[in-house]
Amino acid sequence: MFFIKYEEISFYLIVVGEIGMIYKLDKLKKALVLNEYGDPNIAQTPHDDVEHKTSRYLMFKQELCHNNIAKSHVIDCFDLVETQIDISESAGNSVRTFSNFGFGVLLGILATFWKKLETTDLIYVGLTLLVVGVFIGIVISLFPSRIEKLKEMKYFMQLYCREVTLPDSSGRV
């Protein structure tokens, strides 16, 4: 009974420590973005930061400024990015068609074997396929597609072009 009381106290201390650490990590992330890429408050930043878009935009902007790429140069590239998006959307049609055909053939072969399996074996096979499918879906969702990357770049280019040029500390624009 004496040990149970200390276990409960230590559990609550760990929970408080974890909550404090999560809060502090968020503050440290914001400080890192501020120190490395500039103040996000003085820039036109993405409206949502669910996937760290603000820090990626500030890195994008810093790279453009570092390479002396003006807003007029960026405006000229919108047609090229649109063309790349169109090419990426139309690419891979033959691979999708072949994979759909292959999936159909695989289902046909599996159906012939499933007739010979018992109900418990079918449940095990179905659950295994479900778990593998969910795992593959999670892994695929971790990596953005080329189209998503290009559309995000176009979005960042639009933000960069719309950003108001603010004077620096010396008063220069």
Asked whether residue 25 is assigned to any structural domain, the reply reads no
Asked whether residue 168 is assigned to any structural domain, the reply reads no
Domain that holds residue 83: 38-162
Higher pLDDT, 118 or 169: 118
The span from the CA of 99 to the CA of 21, in Å, is: 46
- Give the pLDDT mean for 114-121: 80
Asked whether residue 12 is assigned to any structural domain, the reply reads no
Spell out the long-range contacts of 166-170 with Cβ–Cβ below 8 A and sequence spacing 24 or more: 166/42
Higher pLDDT, 173 or 99: 99
Asked whether residue 74 is assigned to any structural domain, the reply reads yes
Asked whether residue 1 is assigned to any structural domain, the reply reads no
Distance of CA 170 to the CA centre of its chain: 38
Asked whether residue 16 is assigned to any structural domain, the reply reads no
Asked whether residue 5 is assigned to any structural domain, the reply reads no
The span from the CA of 16 to the CA of 12, in Å, is: 6
Look at the chain and report how many structural domains it folds into: 1
Closest-CA residue to 154 (of 90, 86, 85, 87): 85
Least confident of 30-34, 70-74, 81-85, 132-136: 30-34
pLDDT at position 51 over 80: no
- Give the pLDDT mean for 20-38: 78
- Give the pLDDT mean for 148-173: 72
- Give the pLDDT mean for 98-125: 81
Asked whether residue 113 is assigned to any structural domain, the reply reads yes
Structural contact between residues 81 and 160, judged by C-beta atoms closer than 8 angstroms: no
- Give the pLDDT mean for 130-138: 89
pTM, two decimal places? 0.58
The span from the CA of 161 to the CA of 43, in Å, is: 11
